């Protein structure tokens, strides 16, 4: 029996609760049994890239153009100013304007999550309030990490509690150890899940055991777990994740929404087959070539990619060919 067939068979009973609803209607497995989340995060969210001109200024016209293309894809919402949005490279005023631009362009039924995490609690609160005023529905708050050695469980709980208390919009925690060198401790997640204004976490670490335990330990709370990558989306759904914030959705948005839909309608064999075809391209635009690779791939699928801000450098011709091969070998080009 093929591996994908064995996996599909083993997932049927685990994923069965997903089959009863479409992506925007499913309550998600990481909310209390029989209850509805205060804000449903079930579905796919692309963490948008920030378009820059040749002079490395934010190109709002190109951002609006990409948003028009994305409007036909059944995303649950979009993320502004995540890691793929080159968030650390933008000035505060640019961050606010990006969110304002996106809110004006998006239909109201599309959720807008906006990155607002800063190194200090005070700065995070200030930017979170600004994001709410600019039209964000949810604040995505990455872990502070510059003084990583001092970021104890107690310090992080205090930080996020203060942000949750002060934020006029719901907060989603964001753990991305590949960029921060810091995994938000499980104890902190469990404690913060009890906060009435903290409604979920985006976990980009890729540890499925951790994601499953997070779902299990927060199952009685109004709290949803989002997979942080397309590479482990199906596995995350198998252990109860509600949705995914996936860089690859900038390029292959429809296939990722299809994968979400296949899981929720019980078509496990098709879901496994599709997941397999997404793994190699996802690795190419994340761990292998990062944002420069993601922006280059976007251009092949009709979106504006453009340059990154320095010091992020463009790909070499050899890297571009390797990137293209990751897509073509899996039938996407």
Tens digit of pLDDT for each residue in 173-226? 999 999 999 999 999 999 999 999 999 999 999 999 999 999 999 999 999 999
pLDDT value at 112 more than 70: yes
Q: Is residue 302 part of a domain?
A: no
Q: Is residue 95 part of a domain?
A: yes
Q: Is residue 50 part of a domain?
A: yes
What pLDDT was estimated at residue 25?
Answer: 34
pLDDT value at 29 more than 60: no
Q: How far is CA 172 from CA 98, 158, 190, 242, in A?
A: 19, 15, 13, 13
Please pick, among 95, 202, 295, 296, the residue that the annotation labels catalytic: 202
pLDDT value at 326 more than 80: yes
pLDDT value at 266 more than 70: yes
pLDDT value at 10 more than 90: no
Please pick, among 160, 174, 237, 304, the residue that the annotation labels catalytic: 174
Tens of pLDDT along 61-82? 999 999 999 999 999 999 999 9
**In angstroms, rounded to a whole number, what is the distance separating the alpha carbons of residues 162 and 75?**
31
Q: Is 225 annotated as a binding residue?
A: no
Would you state the structure tokens that stand for residue 104, as one six-digit string? 């004006």
Q: What is the mean pLDDT of the chain?
A: 92
Q: Is residue 67 part of a domain?
A: yes
pLDDT value at 15 more than 70: no
Question: Is 174 designated active site?
Answer: yes
Reported confidence tier of residue 37, pLDDT bands at 50, 70, 90? confident
What pLDDT was estimated at residue 281?
Answer: 99
pLDDT value at 301 more than 70: yes
Q: How many domains does the chain have?
A: 1
**In angstroms, rounded to a whole number, what is the distance separating the alpha carbons of residues 46 and 56?**
22
pLDDT value at 152 more than 60: yes
Q: Is residue 100 part of a domain?
A: yes
Q: Is 148 exposed, middle or buried (0-12, 13-18, 19+ CB in 10 A)?
A: exposed
What pLDDT was estimated at residue 16?
Answer: 46
Reported confidence tier of residue 27, pLDDT bands at 50, 70, 90? very low
Reported confidence tier of residue 33, pLDDT bands at 50, 70, 90? low
Question: Is 202 designated active site?
Answer: yes
**In angstroms, rounded to a whole number, what is the distance separating the alpha carbons of residues 116 and 238?**
30
**In angstroms, rounded to a whole number, what is the distance separating the alpha carbons of residues 115 and 273?**
33
- Which is nearest to 226 in space by CA: 250, 249, 251, 199? 199
Q: Is residue 39 part of a domain?
A: yes
Strand order from edge to edge, sheet including 43-45: 43-45, 243-245, 224-227, 198-203, 171-175, 138-142, 111-115, 77-80
Q: How far is CA 233 from CA 116, 125, 151, in A?
A: 24, 31, 29
Q: What is the CATH number for 16?
A: 3.20.20.70
Give the residue-averaged pLDDT of 38-47: 97
DSSP class of residue 40 equals -
pLDDT value at 294 more than 90: yes
- Which is nearest to 218 in space by CA: 197, 237, 191? 191
Q: How far is CA 46 from CA 80, 120, 330, in A?
A: 9, 27, 21
Tens of pLDDT along 226-260? 999 999 999 999 999 999 999 999 999 999 999 99
- Which is nearest to 77 in space by CA: 27, 41, 28, 26? 41
What pLDDT was estimated at residue 78?
Answer: 99
- Prediction pTM value: 0.90
Query: Domain range spanning residue 249?
Result: 3-279
Q: How does DSSP assign 51-85, residue by residue?
A: PB-TTS-B-HHHHHHHHHHHTTS--SEEEESSGGG
Q: Is residue 224 part of a domain?
A: yes
Q: Is residue 296 part of a domain?
A: no
């Amino acid at each position: 029996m093929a591996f994908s067939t064995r996996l599909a068979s083993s997932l049927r009973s685990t994923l069965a609760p997903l089959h009863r609803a479409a992506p925007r209607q499913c309550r998600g497995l990481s909310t209390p049994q029989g209850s509805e989340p205060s804000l449903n995060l079930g579905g796919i969210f692309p963490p948008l890239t920030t378009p820059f001109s040749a002079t490395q200024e934010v190109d709002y016209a190109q951002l609006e153009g990409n948003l028009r293309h994305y409007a036909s894809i059944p995303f649950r919402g979009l993320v502004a100013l995540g890691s793929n949005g080159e968030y650390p490279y933008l000035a505060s005023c640019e961050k606010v304007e990006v969110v304002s631009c996106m809110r004006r362009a998006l239909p109201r039924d599309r959720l807008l999550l906006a990155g607002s995490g800063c190194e200090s609690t005070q700065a995070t609160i200030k930017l979170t309030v600004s994001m709410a005023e600019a039209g964000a529905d949810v604040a995505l708050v990455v872990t502070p990490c510059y003084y990583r050695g001092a970021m104890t469980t107690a310090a992080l709980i205090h930080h996020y509690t203060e942000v949750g208390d002060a934020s006029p919009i719901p907060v989603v925690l964001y753990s991305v150890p590949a960029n921060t060198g810091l995994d938000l401790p499980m104890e902190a997640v469990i404690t913060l899940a009890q906060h009435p204004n903290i409604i979920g976490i985006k976990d980009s670490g890729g540890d499925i055991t951790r994601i499953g335990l997070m779902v299990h330990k927060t199952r009685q709370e109004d709290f949803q777990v989002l997979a942080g990558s397309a590479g482990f989306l199906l596995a995350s759904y198998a252990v109860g994740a509600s949705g995914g914030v996936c860089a690859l959705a900038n390029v292959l948005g429809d296939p990722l929404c299809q994968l979400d839909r296949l899981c929720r309608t019980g078509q496990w064999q098709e879901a496994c087959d599709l997941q397999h075809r997404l793994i190699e391209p996802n690795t190419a635009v994340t761990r292998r070539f990062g944002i420069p690779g993601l922006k280059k791939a976007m251009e092949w699928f009709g979106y504006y990619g453009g340059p990154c801000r320095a010091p992020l450098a463009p790909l070499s011709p050899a890297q571009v060919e390797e990137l293209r091969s990751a897509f073509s070998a899996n039938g996407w080009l």
